[in-house]
Amino acid sequence: MNSTKKKLLATTAALVAAGTAATVGAVAASAAAPEAGTKTTVKADAADGNLVQSAHLSVAAATKAAQAGLEAAAKEGQKVSVAVVDRNGNTIVTLRGDGAGPQSYASAEKKAFTAVSWNAPTSVLVGRLSQTPNLKDIPGTLFLPGGVPVQAKGAPVAGIGVAGAPSGDLDEKFARAGAAALGR
Amino acid sequence: MNSTKKKLLATTAALVAAGTAATVGAVAASAAAPEAGTKTTVKADAADGNLVQSAHLSVAAATKAAQAGLEAAAKEGQKVSVAVVDRNGNTIVTLRGDGAGPQSYASAEKKAFTAVSWNAPTSVLVGRLSQTPNLKDIPGTLFLPGGVPVQAKGAPVAGIGVAGAPSGDLDEKFARAGAAALGR
Amino acid sequence: MNSTKKKLLATTAALVAAGTAATVGAVAASAAAPEAGTKTTVKADAADGNLVQSAHLSVAAATKAAQAGLEAAAKEGQKVSVAVVDRNGNTIVTLRGDGAGPQSYASAEKKAFTAVSWNAPTSVLVGRLSQTPNLKDIPGTLFLPGGVPVQAKGAPVAGIGVAGAPSGDLDEKFARAGAAALGR
Amino acid sequence: MNSTKKKLLATTAALVAAGTAATVGAVAASAAAPEAGTKTTVKADAADGNLVQSAHLSVAAATKAAQAGLEAAAKEGQKVSVAVVDRNGNTIVTLRGDGAGPQSYASAEKKAFTAVSWNAPTSVLVGRLSQTPNLKDIPGTLFLPGGVPVQAKGAPVAGIGVAGAPSGDLDEKFARAGAAALGR
Amino acid sequence: MNSTKKKLLATTAALVAAGTAATVGAVAASAAAPEAGTKTTVKADAADGNLVQSAHLSVAAATKAAQAGLEAAAKEGQKVSVAVVDRNGNTIVTLRGDGAGPQSYASAEKKAFTAVSWNAPTSVLVGRLSQTPNLKDIPGTLFLPGGVPVQAKGAPVAGIGVAGAPSGDLDEKFARAGAAALGR
Amino acid sequence: MNSTKKKLLATTAALVAAGTAATVGAVAASAAAPEAGTKTTVKADAADGNLVQSAHLSVAAATKAAQAGLEAAAKEGQKVSVAVVDRNGNTIVTLRGDGAGPQSYASAEKKAFTAVSWNAPTSVLVGRLSQTPNLKDIPGTLFLPGGVPVQAKGAPVAGIGVAGAPSGDLDEKFARAGAAALGR
Amino acid sequence: MNSTKKKLLATTAALVAAGTAATVGAVAASAAAPEAGTKTTVKADAADGNLVQSAHLSVAAATKAAQAGLEAAAKEGQKVSVAVVDRNGNTIVTLRGDGAGPQSYASAEKKAFTAVSWNAPTSVLVGRLSQTPNLKDIPGTLFLPGGVPVQAKGAPVAGIGVAGAPSGDLDEKFARAGAAALGR
Amino acid sequence: MNSTKKKLLATTAALVAAGTAATVGAVAASAAAPEAGTKTTVKADAADGNLVQSAHLSVAAATKAAQAGLEAAAKEGQKVSVAVVDRNGNTIVTLRGDGAGPQSYASAEKKAFTAVSWNAPTSVLVGRLSQTPNLKDIPGTLFLPGGVPVQAKGAPVAGIGVAGAPSGDLDEKFARAGAAALGR
C-alpha cells in the first residue's frame, strides 16, 4: 500500500470517528447487548487506521428500485423477477414477479451480480466475450442483458437485475427504470 | 429509520462527498474505465439519501491480524489455520497453516463468520445453545471456541477464526492474539 | 383420487375457464409470443380435469408484508432480514436489512420455509422437536422462532421469516407484524 | 400493478371464496390440525386482494403423462427417463426408466424445467441460442431437444422432459406423447 | 475374495450368459447403436468373472408402489409426497402430492434412501440413534418414520419414503401400503 | 411394458430365484440381522415380476482395471488419476495417482461417467458436439478424451476414466489399458 | 516462524535439493513439457526457504490398505466401502464394495477424513463429543467408529475409513486391518 | 510401479527418516497428544516404502507472494483479489483486496488452481482451448489470464491467481510479481 492511499484511508478513518461511527456504535448497542459488561467479551477494537469505508445502497432504496423495475414491466404486461445485489456481491432484495418463469429468479440475481462486478450494464459486458469468452465462467456471473450498475460518484455500489421478459432489451429497460428511481 | 439516524447518514454522505469519495471515485476510475464516456453507460447515480456507510477491515489489517494469530500459535508449537470474515459475511483473508489438519480451514472460516454475526466470541456463543440449541443450524455458522469479533466503537466489523489446535481454548487464545494486533 | 375430490376439481376447473383463465391467458400471450403460430409449437393443452388451483401470495402483498416486518424491527432499533416464501417453498421476497448480521439472510428464508411447510409458527414447531428431534434434519428447514405462516381460509399460502434480532421472541414479533399487514 | 389487473385478481379471489377455497380449506384442516385452537396460532389470514391463483398440473395427471412418455419410448425399444416440472420450477414426477443411462435423470428434469420456463419445446429454444448463446447459462436449464411445455389456455402449467434416447428427436417424440396424454 | 464367493459369481455369470444377457444385449442394441461397427469403438468386453448381478425394482413396479402410497394417503385426506430409491441410492420415482408441503419432497427421498441403506423401516432405525446418535450425520439419510425397505428374498432392493402427513406413523402407514402393492 | 419384455423379465426373475438370489440372500443375512424376527420388520417382499437384473462390474474387477490404467501411465512416466463408474453412474473405484494434477481426480470421474452414459469412448463423443453442442451441459459429464466404456455382451456396465496426462490421446490409451485388463 | 523451525526447514530444503528433488524434477519433466522452452513460461522458481516437505501415502500403498480392509470384511461376510484420505483431506482411493449399502461410500470417505484430521480413531473421537458436541459440525467430518489414522513416525499421513458393516466396531476392525497392511 | 521408481522412493524415505521426519514428528507431538499412550491408539505406522514426499509452499511464503501481488496492483491503482493454491489443489492463502469486485475472489482462486494443475500460466492455457475447448469444463478451473504456477526445480508446487483488474494482462502482471517475490 503506497503512502498516498494510506493517507486517504487515515483521513477517512478520522471522518469515521467524527461521524459514521456514532451510527455504528448505535448498531452495536443492540447487537452486542447480550454480552455487554461480561468478562468474556473480547477487547479487540480495531484502530482507525485499520478501517475502510464503503458506500452501500440502503434496503429502503434497494426495495424502491426493485419495485420500480417490477412496475415498469407490469405496465408493459411483462412478468419478471428483480434482484438487487450490493458491491460485495450479497443480495439485498429479491422480488419474484407474479407469473414470472421459474428461471427468472436466479437469472435476475446473477445479472445484478455481473453488472455490479464490472460496473457496466450486462448488455455491454456481453460484448466483451468476443475478446474474452471465458469471463462467463466466473462463478456468480451471467452474461445476458438485463443487469445494470448503480453508482455513487461513478463508483459501483449495487447492481439491479431483471429477468423473465421475452427479450433482453426489455429486461434491461426495466432494470434501468429501477435504477432511475434512485436518482430522484 | 428514525430521523436521528437519517441525519447521521446524510452527514456521512456529505463527508463521503468531501473525503472518502475521493478514494471511491478513484476505484471507479479504473473499474469503469472501459465504459467511460460511451453511450451505453447507465446514468444511474444513486442519490445520497439512498446510501449507508459501513466500516470494513482493510485487507492489510486483516492480513496483519491473521498473521499475528498464526504466529501466536507457532510460538506454542501449534498448527492452525486462520480466517478473517467481514461484517457482510465475506471472507477477506485465509491462511492455511503449515501442517494444520485439513478440517481447520473451513472450521476457521465458519468460526469467524459466527463471531462477527453475533458480535461475540464463539466460546460465549456456545453457551447460548443451552437455551436455543438450533442456532447452530443456521447456514455458515460453527459453534466452537476459536472465533472472536473485531469491533470499531463496539460495532462488529469483522470476525477472526482459528482452528486446528488441540483445544478450543488454545484456538481462541490465538484468535485473540490476532485481534489484539489491530489495537496497536 | 376419490370422486368427491374429482368433482371439486372439476368445479374449480370450470371457474378457471370463466375467471382466472383470463389472467392466465394474458400471461401466456407474452410468454408464448415468440412461438405463437409457428409449426413448432406443441399442441398440448391440458384438459381441465388435469388441473388443480393453488392460492399464492402476490409479490405486491409479499413485499408489503416484508416491509412491515422490517419497519416493526426498525421501530425497536433492531437490524433484521426478512423473507417471504410461498407454499411451494419458493422464495418470493427477500430484504436484507441495513446492518443486519450476515447470518440473518439465509436464516430468515429458512424460517419462512419452515413455517409454511407445517402451517405453524416456528416457535411452536420448536416444541415438536422434543418428540421428533430429527424433524430439523429435513432440508430447507430451521427450527428457530421468527417464522410465521400466512393463511387463506386456514390453509397456508406463504411463510414470513425474520432473523437478526437478539432474541427469537423479537424475530417472531416482527414476523407477526409483517403477516398482520396482510389482513388489512 | 395497474387497476385492470387488480380487478381481475379481485374477481379471482371472489371465485376462490366460492369454489376452490373449499378444497383448500380441507387441506388446511389436516395440515393445521396439530395447532388448531391453541393460543400460539398466528391470526394472519391474508385478505383476498393479496392472492393470485395459479393453475397446476395434478400429480395424477403428471404421472399419467410421464408414464405415457415412458411407454412411447418402450414401444420403440428405447430406454429413457422422464420428468414433469411445474410452472414454479418444482419437480412433480420423475421416472427413471429401466436401463436408461445415468445421465438421463437430471437431463430429463432440466429439459422439463427449460420448456416450462419459456413455454416452448426445447428443440425450438435451442434455436434462440444463435442470437443469445448465454441463455444456456441460466441455472436449471438445458438446451437439448426433449422438453415440451404443457399449457392450459395457452399458458404454461408444466414441462415434460425426456432423455436417454439416441437422438433428441426421439426424446422429443416421447415427450410429446406424454403431453398428448393430457388432452384426452 | 474367497473361492466360495468366486464360484457363486461364476455361476451367476453363466446364468447371465443364458438368460439375463438377452435383455441386456437388447439394451445395448439401442444404446450402442450410434457407434456400432465403427473403428473407434473400444473392444473392452468384461469377462464374466468380473461381473456381479443385482436385483433392481423396475420402474413400473416402483411407480405402482409410489401410487399405492399416494392413494392410501388420499383415502385419509392426507397430502404427501412419495419417493422410491433403489439399492444403489439412486431415485427411481418421485411423486409430489397435490397440496403437500414443500418440505415433503426431499424428505420422502431421504427416508427412502435411509430405509434401503439399512434394510429396515426408518421408524426402527430412529431407535438406533440412542446408541449411535451420529448415524444421522451420514449424507443422504433422514431418521424420521415414513421410510420402509422393499426386499427380494430378504435382501433390500429398494426403499419407499413418504412424507407430509401430520405424524410419522401415518407416513409409515402409507409407505407400507406402497410396499404392499409389490407383493401382489 | 409390452408382453415380450415382461416374459424376459419373468424368466430372469426365475433365474434369480435359482441362482443369484443365494448370494443376495447371504447379503441380506448380515444387513438385515439387527432387525430379523422383530415385529417391526416390514413384510414387503417384492414379487419376482417387479424385478429387473443388472450386470455390475465387481469392485475386484474395477480395482484391477483402475490399477492397470495407472500402471500403463506409470510405464510412460505419466502422472494420472483413474476412476471407474458403474452403469448407474455411481463411482466404484478412484485412484489418485502420485503427483497427478489436482484437476485429474474429478476429471477422471466425469470422463468415466460420460463414457458409460453413452456407451462410447469420450473421444468419439466429443465429435457429437459439432451436431449437439449442449450435450456437454448435462450434469456429471465431461467431453474430453480419456473415458472408455466397459461392456458385457455389448451393453455398457461401467466406464473407466483417466485424466492428468499431457494429452487426451494418452489418457485414452491408459483407459483402454485398464479396460483391456478385464478381458483376460 | 521462530528460528528453530526455520533451520529445520532449511535442512529439509537441502535434502530436497539432494534427494527428493530428483523425483519431483522428473514429475515436472512431463507435466511441464508442453510449455518448456517457450517464452511464455513464468520464471518463478521458489527459493528453497519457501518450501516445506510433507509425507504422503503413495497410491500403491493406499490401494493396498483399502483392499486389505475390504478383504477383512469379506472374510466375515460383510459388505463395506473403504476410502483413504491424505493429510490434506484429499481422497486418494475409494472402493465401493459389492452389495454395500449406498450410504457407505460417503460415510467411509468422511470417517477417513475425520481420523486423519485429529490423528485418532473415530471411535476415540466420538468420546470427545461429550465435552465438545459441536466438533461434529465441522465440514467433512463424521463421528462414527470406522476411521483410523495412518502415521509416519507418529504424525498423521492418511486416514482409512470403512463403512457399511452392521456395527461401528466391525467397521473399525476392518479399517485397522487396512492400516495394518502398511506396516509390513 | 517399476523398480526404478521404487528405489527413488526408498531413497526418499531414508531421507525422511534422517531429516524431514524430525519436523514431522514434532507436528505429531501436538496433534496426537490427546491420545498418546492410550490403549485406543491405532498402531498403524506406515512403513517407509509406502510414502512419497511432496514439496509444498509454506504459508509464510504463500502470504509473501500474495501480498507482493496485491501491492503490485495497488501501485497501479488496481483493486484485485489474490489466491495461492497448492499442488494438491487446496487453497493456502486468499486476500480479498479493498474495493475489489465481488467476482474477483473466486476468480483468483480458480486461476491459481488452473495454473498449478497444468504448470503453466493461464494466459498460455487459454490457447489450448482452440484445440481442446472442453478443458474448461473440468471442475475447479478457469481459463482466464491471471494465474501463474510456482515451481521448485521445474515442478509445480503452487499457483498464484489474481483477478479484478480491467484486463487479464494486468492480472497476470500482478500474479507474476507475486511469484517473483519467491525467488529472492
- CB of B92 within 8 Å of a chain C CB? The answer is no
**A147 has a pLDDT exceeding 80:** yes
For residue H161, what are the β-bridge partners?
A: H83, H147
Neighbours of C127 (CB within 10 A): 11
**pLDDT higher at A125 or D37:** A125
What residues in C contact A108, CB-CB < 8 Å? none
The rounded distance, in Å, linking the Cα atoms of B57 and B93 is 11
Q: Predicted confidence band at C45 (pLDDT cuts at 50, 70, 90)?
A: confident
Give the model's pLDDT for residue B44.
Answer: 59
- CB of H144 within 8 Å of a chain A CB? The answer is yes
Chains that touch G (3 or more CB pairs under 8 A): B, E, F, H
- CB of F34 within 8 Å of a chain G CB? The answer is yes
Residues in contact with H162: Cβ distance below 8 Å, sequence separation at least 6, in sequence order: H69, H73, H80, H81, H82, H108, H111, H146, H147, H171, H172, H174, H175, H178
Neighbours of D144 (CB within 10 A): 26
Q: What is the ipTM of this complex?
A: 0.80
Give the model's pLDDT for residue C184.
Answer: 60
CA distance E103 to chain G (A): 22
Any contact of D with F, at least 3 CB pairs below 8 A? yes
Tell me the pLDDT of chain A averaged across its residues: 81
- CB of D30 within 8 Å of a chain A CB? The answer is no
Taking an 8 Å cut-off on Cβ atoms, the answer to whether D31 and E91 are in contact is no
Could you say which residues of chain B have pLDDT below 50?
A: 1-41
Highest mean pLDDT (candidates F180-184, G18-22, H152-156, H158-162): H158-162
* E strand spans, E65-146: 81-86, 91-96
Residue among A40, A47, A60 minimizing CB distance to B184? A47
Give the model's pLDDT for residue G47.
Answer: 85
What own/partner pairs with CB < 8 Å and gap ≥ 24 does B37-44 have? B38/A124, B40/A120, B40/A121, B40/A123, B40/A124, B41/A120, B41/A121, B41/A124, B42/A121, B42/A148, B42/A149, B42/A151, B42/A176, B42/A179, B43/A183, B44/A148, B44/A149, B44/A150, B44/A151, B44/A176, B44/A179, B44/A180, B44/A182, B44/A183
Q: Among C67-71, E79-83, H5-9, H118-122, whose mean pLDDT is lowest? A: H5-9
Residue among C98, C136, C163 minimizing CB distance to B134? C136
What residues in D contact F138, CB-CB < 8 Å? 103, 106-107, 110, 142, 144, 163
User: What is the pLDDT averaged over residues D84-113?
Assistant: 98
Give me the total of CB pairs closer than 8 Å, taking one residue from chain C and one from chain E.
Answer: 56
- CB of H106 within 8 Å of a chain A CB? The answer is yes
User: What is the pLDDT averaged over residues A66-76?
Assistant: 98
Give the model's pLDDT for residue B184.
Answer: 60
Cell of A20: 459514521
Residue H57: which of H152, H140, H147 has the closest Cα? H152
- CB of E63 within 8 Å of a chain D CB? The answer is yes
What is the Cα B82 distance to its own chain's centre? 12
pLDDT tens-place string over residues E5-20: 333 333 222 222 222 2
What is the Cα E25 distance to its own chain's centre? 23
Residue F166: which of F78, F82, F37 has the closest Cα? F78
Give the model's pLDDT for residue H184.
Answer: 60
pLDDT tens-place string over residues B30-54: 233 333 333 344 555 788 899 999 8
The rounded distance, in Å, linking the Cα atoms of B78 and B65 is 17
**pLDDT higher at H184 or F25:** H184
- CB of D44 within 8 Å of a chain E CB? The answer is no
**D151 has a pLDDT exceeding 90:** yes
User: What is the pLDDT averaged over residues A17-22?
Assistant: 24
The alpha-helical segments, DSSP class H, found in chain G are: 3-18, 20-32, 59-75, 104-118, 122-128, 168-180
Round the CA-based radius of gyration of chain A to a whole number and report it.
20
Nearest residue of H to residue A117 by CA position? H101
Residue with cell 410396499: E179
Residue among B44, B151, B154 minimizing CB distance to A182? B44
Residues in contact with E164: Cβ distance below 8 Å, sequence separation at least 6, in sequence order: E73, E78, E79, E80, E81, E97, E100, E101, E103, E104, E107, E108, E171
Taking an 8 Å cut-off on Cβ atoms, the answer to whether B138 and C74 are in contact is no
pLDDT tens-place string over residues E106-116: 999 999 999 99
% of chain E exceeding 90 in pLDDT: 70
**F104 has a pLDDT exceeding 80:** yes
For residue B93, what are the β-bridge partners?
A: B84, H95
The rounded distance, in Å, linking the Cα atoms of E7 and D116 is 52
Residue among H67, H95, H166 minimizing CB distance to B33? H166
- CB of A120 within 8 Å of a chain H CB? The answer is no
Residue among H27, H34, H93 minimizing CB distance to B99? H27
Q: Among A65-74, E44-53, H40-49, H67-76, whose mean pLDDT is lowest? A: H40-49
Taking an 8 Å cut-off on Cβ atoms, the answer to whether E139 and G107 are in contact is yes
Give the model's pLDDT for residue F179.
Answer: 97
The rounded distance, in Å, linking the Cα atoms of E8 and E14 is 10
Residue B156: which of F127, F66, C100, C77 has the closest Cα? C100
Give the model's pLDDT for residue E128.
Answer: 97
pLDDT tens-place string over residues E137-184: 999 999 999 999 999 988 999 999 999 999 999 999 999 999 999 986
Taking an 8 Å cut-off on Cβ atoms, the answer to whether D138 and A142 are in contact is yes
The rounded distance, in Å, linking the Cα atoms of C73 and C173 is 9
The rounded distance, in Å, linking the Cα atoms of A117 and A113 is 6
Task: Print burial letters for G27-46: b (CB count within 10 Å at least 16), e (below 16).
Answer: bbebbbeebeeeeebbebbb
What residues in E contact G136, CB-CB < 8 Å? 134, 137
CA distance D107 to chain F (A): 6
The residue among B138, B141, B143, B157 with the most chain C CBs within 10 A of its CB, best to mutate, is B138
pLDDT tens-place string over residues C116-165: 999 999 999 999 999 999 999 999 999 999 999 999 988 999 999 999 99
Taking an 8 Å cut-off on Cβ atoms, the answer to whether D103 and F141 are in contact is yes
Cell of B18: 468531501
Neighbours of C116 (CB within 10 A): 30
**D136 to A18, A139, A166, C47, F138: CA distances (angstroms):** 50, 15, 15, 31, 11
Chains that touch E (3 or more CB pairs under 8 A): C, D, F, G
Any contact of F with H, at least 3 CB pairs below 8 A? yes
**H3 has a pLDDT exceeding 80:** no
Give the model's pLDDT for residue G14.
Answer: 26
